[in-house]
Chains A and B, each alone.
Chain A
């Protein structure tokens, strides 16, 4: 018990929480933007993989880290466009299309990586984002290490939570987007184009997802390897439900989840005699439990997963 307290009082745990939460924050925001407009995007796992690969490759080929993030976002936009054409324009099954995008994004990433990068015994590495030193704040006791010694993309993720929340709640664009997810016919009646709004939302959301993937290769690690996304995308899909489709709650969910993950990682090294796989299972089990607890009360966007065809009811 005292061991658990020691872990919780250690600033490095809280630094790890923010680090682990960052890709989830990007991913859950992306999924949220898509779903608020009425489109489930199960392509997330493949889009994150593509973002991780595209961002890493850009830097490996001599681009700077911010260009890497930009290229990752562009790759996300393209996969998002593909998902949008299939599900919004053609009105195909969002479940099957999303899974197809995931299989496509992941396999294409692995293929291109193998094609363009010589892999020896160890995967090649890049120089990743370093923790920012913020004068004054980073020197604070405890908080300095726990909160103010993160890499730049982490602060970007936190900023994007605020931006997304503001756009959704306070701007005409956000209102139109939310309305498209609730009642696209009403949007049409207002003289707006629900199809265009959905395409835009899916593309923007997919770009956010890809940034989450790029964080893995450009900040959390320094190399790309297959299966590195490890179900983080699926966890984001669960977190959106947990967050009742609200950006603020999504941030909270990602942080809670990351706290749990960071905590179990540290317990693994202090508790002996328990197979490590049980610790690794915990995040997935937690996601399922969170879904079961919240799903009943969750207010799902009314038109989620319903294709919209003009003049068809």
Chain B
């Protein structure tokens, strides 16, 4: 038996891959759940109930999926061009900080929709700026952007801490380090009454569709793909590599920054140093499970949100540590990476 390269990427394998990866991850993690003395099937049933068992659960899961769609898109567009943006966590926080900074007073004279749009654009600019730096450092000095974007995450979170304990501190929070709340008329309207689900979900879906359109129908989309597949061939074919990578960095950083803005204007209402349970890193898992496809990102984000919201409920009911959600996610990522191999290679007797 040997491994042989396929002539074309197998679409069937590509469609099956995420489901196979998730199945493998759930099977392996069943062992970990059993170690806690809990029946894995019962635990997974509890997770599903926790994520979809009631109107409230469904809205919570979808609320959790919104930032994951944005950070998933951020990773997907960057990875497609082989720009390894691992800094979505930092870009999320910059976006959140900008939204909280502008949102509490400065723009309150403007009509709400205009003010909200301006806040979001500013947050996107913040996130984009944070990624253009590492992209340029790679292009100019050959510095691996994985390391710089990772290190920037730590710097940005410390900076957020500095701001919420200093200039943006909420004096009404009893010494709790959080920013002053965003003006009420800048908050995103609810999508479902008596829930935390807000119209950010519609925005996320629209942005995913837009990214898909840009990637499949524009010259920029074609150039991105070419730059990612084979930079030398792309350059030979006249693709401006530097400009393409910078544009990708702007888009990817902007999407992660938008995630932060939507979270602050939506459910959070303010910025704190603990507001993200790893949205940036989870975005990488989302993008990989989606095989970097923008519409797949939406589905993968809902899956990851299900695991997180469901695991919290399951943990409360059974006592299995809720860190199982992170384990499921990381194993899905590794399994998906392996599964993707079979879209380009096959086993031959």
Query: Chain A interface (Cβ within 8 Å of chain B)?
Result: 42, 82, 86, 90-93, 95-97, 99-101, 103-104, 106-108, 110-111, 114-115, 230-231, 234-235, 237-238, 241, 275, 277-278, 280-281, 284-285, 287-288, 291-292, 295-296, 298
Contact = CB atoms under 8 A, between A and B. Distances in A.
A231 B154 contact: yes
Contacts of B114: none
A287 B151 contact: yes
A149 to B, nearest CB: 31
Interface string B327-349: 10111011001101100000000
26 contacts: A86-B337, A90-B338, A92-B338, A93-B337, A97-B337, A99-B86, A101-B334, A103-B326, A104-B327, A104-B330, A114-B321, A115-B36, A231-B150, A234-B150, A234-B151, A235-B151, A277-B161, A281-B159, A284-B151, A288-B143, A288-B152, A291-B137, A291-B143, A292-B137, A295-B143, A296-B142
B176 interface: no
A278 B288 CA distance: 35
Contacts of B213: none
Contacts of B321: 110-111, 114-115
B158 A281 contact: yes
B326 A110 contact: yes
B324 A111 contact: yes
B86 A111 contact: no
B63 to A, nearest CB: 23
Given A111-B326, A295-B143, 20 more contacts: A86-B337, A86-B338, A90-B341, A92-B337, A95-B146, A96-B284, A99-B281, A100-B334, A101-B334, A107-B326, A111-B327, A230-B154, A241-B143, A275-B162, A278-B162, A281-B155, A291-B141, A295-B141, A295-B142, A298-B142
A245 B6 CA distance: 37
A96 B286 CA distance: 12
B170 interface: no
Contacts of B32: 108, 111
B162 A277 contact: yes
Given A42-B146, A238-B151, A280 B326 contact: no
A55 B144 CA distance: 31
A50 B260 CA distance: 30
Contacts of B284: 96, 99
A86 B334 contact: yes
Nearest to B37: A115
Contacts of B148: 288, 291
> 3 closest A-B pairs (Cβ-Cβ)?
A107-B326, A114-B321, A103-B330
B151 A107 contact: no
B84 interface: yes
Given A92-B338, A231-B154, A275 B330 contact: no
Contacts of B143: 241, 288, 291-292, 295
B37 to A, nearest CB: 10
Contacts of B147: 234, 237-238, 241, 287, 291
Q: Which of B155, B159, B166, B288 has the most CB of A within 10 A?
A: B155
Contacts of A107: 323, 326-327, 329-330
A281 B157 CA distance: 9
B35 interface: yes
A271 B162 CA distance: 17
A234 B146 CA distance: 9
A103 B281 contact: yes
A100 B333 contact: yes
B165 interface: yes
A312 to B, nearest CB: 8
A284 B323 contact: no
Contacts of B304: none
A285 B329 CA distance: 30
Contacts of B159: 277, 281
Nearest to A96: B337
A292 B152 CA distance: 14
B276 to A, nearest CB: 13
A115 B322 CA distance: 10
Interface in B124-180: 137, 141-144, 146-148, 150-152, 154-155, 158-159, 161-162, 165-166
B285 interface: yes
Nearest to A280: B158
A101 B337 CA distance: 12
B329 A103 contact: yes
Contacts of B79: 96
Nearest to B86: A99
A77 to B, nearest CB: 17
A304 B32 CA distance: 35
A108 B328 CA distance: 10
A291 B144 CA distance: 9
Contacts of A106: 326
Q: Which of A107, A275, A278 has the most CB of B within 10 A?
A: A107
A277 B158 contact: yes
A206 B186 CA distance: 49
Q: Which of A90, A96, A100 has the most CB of B within 10 A?
A: A100
B253 to A, nearest CB: 16
B88 to A, nearest CB: 12
A94 to B, nearest CB: 10
Contacts of A237: 144, 146-147
Contacts of B327: 104, 107-108, 111
Contacts of A278: 162
A230 to B, nearest CB: 8
Contacts of B337: 86, 92-93, 96-97, 100
B62 to A, nearest CB: 24
Contacts of A296: 141-142
A236 B57 CA distance: 42
